[in-house]
Chain A
Amino acid sequence: GEDVEQSLFLSVREGDSSVINCTYTDSSSTYLYWYKQEPGAGLQLLTYIFSNMDMKQDQRLTVLLNKKDKHLSLRIADTQTGDSAIYFCAVLNNNAGNMLTFGGGTRLMVKP
Chain B
Amino acid sequence: GAVVSQHPSWVICKSGTSVKIECRSLDFQATTMFWYRQFPKQSLMLMATSNEGSKATYEQGVEKDKFLINHASLTLSTLTVTSAHPEDSSFYICSASPGLAGGIKYEQYFGPGTRLTVT
Binding site for B on A (CB under 8 A): 30-31, 35, 40-45, 48, 50, 88, 92, 94, 97-100, 102-105
Contacts and interface: CB of A to CB of B under 8 A. Distances in A.
10 contacts: A30-B104, A40-B113, A42-B93, A42-B110, A45-B110, A50-B106, A88-B44, A94-B104, A100-B34, A102-B44
B35 to A, nearest CB: 12
B7 interface: no
Pairs A-B, 4 closest by C-beta atoms: A42-B112, A43-B110, A42-B113, A98-B105
Interface residues of B, number: 22
B106 A92 contact: yes
A43 B106 contact: no
A42 B92 CA distance: 9
Q: Which residue among A40, A43, A103 has the maximum number of chain B CB atoms within 10 Å of its CB?
A: A43
Contacts of B117: none
Contacts of B42: 104-105
Contacts of B110: 35, 42-45
Q: Which residue among A31, A42, A99 has the maximum number of chain B CB atoms within 10 Å of its CB?
A: A42
Interface in B94-119: 95, 97, 99, 104-106, 108-113, 115
B113 A98 contact: no
Interface in B1-47: 6, 32, 34, 42-44, 46
Nearest to B2: A45
